[in-house]
Amino acid sequence: MDDLARLAALHGVATSYQPSEDVTLRVPDATVAAVLGQLGVDAATPESVREALAEAERARARRLLPPVLVWWAGSEPPAALAALPPGTRTRLELEGDGAAGAEPGGVPPLGVHRLHAETPDGRSGAATLIVAPERAPAAPGRGHGLLVQLYSLLSERSWGMGDLGDLAELARWAGRAHGAAFIQVNPLHAAVPGAPTDPSPYRPSSRRFPDPVHLRVEDLPEHAACPDQEALARLAARGGELRRGVLEKGALIDRDAVWALKRTALELLYAVPRTPEREAAYREFCAEQGEPLDRHAAWCAAATGDDPARADFHRWLVWLTDTQLAAAQRAAREAGMAVGIVHDLAVGVHPAGSDVQTAPGVHATGSTVGAPPDAFNARGQDWGLPPLRPDALAASGYAPLRALLRGVLRATGALRIDHVMGLFRLWWIPEGAPPADGTYVAYDGEAMLAVLVLEAHRAGALVIGEDLGTVEPRVRRALARRGVLGTSVLWFERDWAGDGQPLAPADWRADCLATATTHDLPPTAAKLAGAHVELRDRLGLLTRPLEQERAQDAADTAQWLDVLEDLGLDTKGEEAAVRALYAFLLRTPARLVGVWLPDAVGDRRPQNLPGTWDQYPNWRLPLADAEGRPLTLEALVASRRANALLSAVREGACARTAPPGARAV
């Protein structure tokens, strides 16, 4: 191993990777050097590499403790503790008030503590000690629910896009009428201000704080107390025009136009004196969120051209949104949902957003996250998101991750983590390099997972990991061992190690959320009809001749329909076939089964078409019926087709039992 490779290994930077079991590719030296530079390691020349390597090895030899230790409750102490020299004294500062604890003999209390050690010869060291439960909270039995992109669900009250009032109403209907246990939504993170705003919920300004564009203005207590009801009525009327434009005239969802109206209304409400109870609740929230909220609010004021003194307005908006998120979760639980709202955590943040700009040094701003070339994308992918620095996380005791998770878990029954493999490694692409010239950077997966399990335990929330695509077996084993559910999508569940045939229900893993499709895939009706192939052809996205794509896709669908028919399920007609696919999912041992809401009404348009930017209206389409006519929430609730599917799912869910011999992971 040469010096650059040794230096890279010490910092978790890969110098080669395997896109498949029988292929190993070397990472360009320039990539390795650039990524090391992002970690504060000078590897620009052979001399600097040798110097950095020597210093890293000296530091490693001097170190008494690693930066972070993980102690799982019910398990043996970390090996690094047992390896301390005889006679070493240890002292534990407990999380919170920092009070000193006794020398760690038994398992310390759950939390993130500070461990100090001193040897008889005077050497000393300190480490962050994460004490976590053995597993994240378990699913309360089996359950089914809905998967929805909230912006796409407009009611007769919303102002041009779905809002948190709509989410509460959807939860009441799904829970009471159809026994749903959960509703999973897209990320509701704060978007980067400005017009046009990036419509993707997966490129937010901040993952920690929610976006006030989702507020239902009329549901705020200040609305009724506002003296200028005439102005509010005019704004609501303009919001109605936006709604009718989407529902009746074929307009796309215009987040910027919606926010312009809501911001004007919220400015009026901000001037309304708060009641003592509201003021006390607001001040308590600000105290809990502390300096990060202050920095975020100040950044929002600057980014929108406000006077710095207006930061309190932006702080207030975060609080309002937090209150309506909590109200939606209460509505879900009151409707009988065992889990409630499942929020989605994006894999990263926009480079020009609040999280990056208000916490210098936490993100590697000279690199972006993506994916290496694979069978689905020969060029690789660049998601344009600066990665968190693993060295900065360790040095801070994972404070940024802890704060992020605590924020998104405040009002939720479960958390879905996009690209959960990122807890263990991410594909870094140096600025200016193509995606194929990136490399993997390792994270301390044990520490990342311990923080996740600890915060989920404190919130009483389930954790669902999106583990689709290339996943190291060790990662899936680690996630399953700690109670993190995976994600299994029907079309991908095949015997890839054998003949590629669809997996029988009993061969599915139990610890997962099972779905027929996702926001990045065609709705089920489109898949059954092959409409997604035609769409990609029209947009010039196919990599093979159209007839080959059609034939392959039809053969893939036919295999699944044969499986359904062999199980005695009716597949005659589109609606019957969709119901049969969900009936199949209910025969698997999956803990949770999710119904993609567009499947309930026959919508054939994907919400996002990977590989497109302005060629397709990603993240801007309303929910629509099989003919492409937009539907309101009220029309959804009254839909014969939707009620038929969800009633069938409820009946199947009530009847299902785990097949004998079902595998756990």
Give residue limits of the domains in the chain. 3-62, 68-132
Nearest to 143 by CA among 90, 183, 186, 198: 183
Per-residue pLDDT band for 97 (boundaries 50, 70, 90) equals low
Arithmetic mean of pLDDT over the chain: 94
pLDDT tops 70 at residue 477: yes
Taking the C-alpha atoms of residue 35 and residue 7, their distance in angstroms, rounded to an integer, is 12
pLDDT tops 60 at residue 44: yes
Q: What is the CA radius of gyration of the chain?
A: 26
Tokens of 640: 């014969």
Helices 640-655 and 574-587: crossing angle, nearest 10°? 20
- For tokens 């003999």, the residue is 105
Provide the pLDDT for residue 661: 46
Per-residue pLDDT band for 648 (boundaries 50, 70, 90) equals very high
Distances (CA, A) of 157 to 147, 154, 167, 633: 21, 8, 12, 10
Per-residue pLDDT band for 645 (boundaries 50, 70, 90) equals very high
- For tokens 């969709």, the residue is 578
Q: Mean pLDDT over residues 492-503, rounded?
A: 90
Percent of the chain with pLDDT over 90: 90
Tokens of 99: 């009070």
CB-based burial label for 664 (10 Å; 0-12, 13-18, 19+): exposed
Q: Mean pLDDT over residues 70-79, rounded?
A: 93
pLDDT tops 50 at residue 241: yes
Provide the pLDDT for residue 616: 96
* 631 vs 610, more confident: 631
Provide the pLDDT for residue 662: 46
Taking the C-alpha atoms of residue 565 and residue 145, their distance in angstroms, rounded to an integer, is 25
Percent of the chain with pLDDT over 70: 97
Provide the pLDDT for residue 318: 98
pLDDT tops 60 at residue 658: no
> What is the model's pTM?
0.95
pLDDT tops 90 at residue 139: yes
Q: How many Cβ atoms are within 10 Å of 265's Cβ, its own excluded? A: 25
- Name residues whose C-beta falls within 8 Å of residue 539's C-beta, 6 or more positions apart in sequence: 609, 612, 615, 616
Nearest to 422 by CA among 471, 367, 365, 487: 471
pLDDT tops 80 at residue 371: yes
Per-residue pLDDT band for 659 (boundaries 50, 70, 90) equals very low
Taking the C-alpha atoms of residue 161 and residue 188, their distance in angstroms, rounded to an integer, is 13
Per-residue pLDDT band for 656 (boundaries 50, 70, 90) equals low
Name all contacts of 330-336 with Cβ < 8 Å and 24+ positions apart. Answer: 331/168, 331/169, 331/171, 331/172, 332/168, 332/171, 332/172, 332/175, 332/182, 332/183, 332/413, 333/413, 334/172, 335/171, 335/172, 335/173, 335/174, 335/175, 335/176, 336/175, 336/176, 336/179
Is 217 within 8 Å of 355 (Cβ atoms)? Answer: no
Provide the pLDDT for residue 462: 98
- Enumerate the β-bridge partners of residue 414: 342, 462
Taking the C-alpha atoms of residue 322 and residue 333, their distance in angstroms, rounded to an integer, is 17
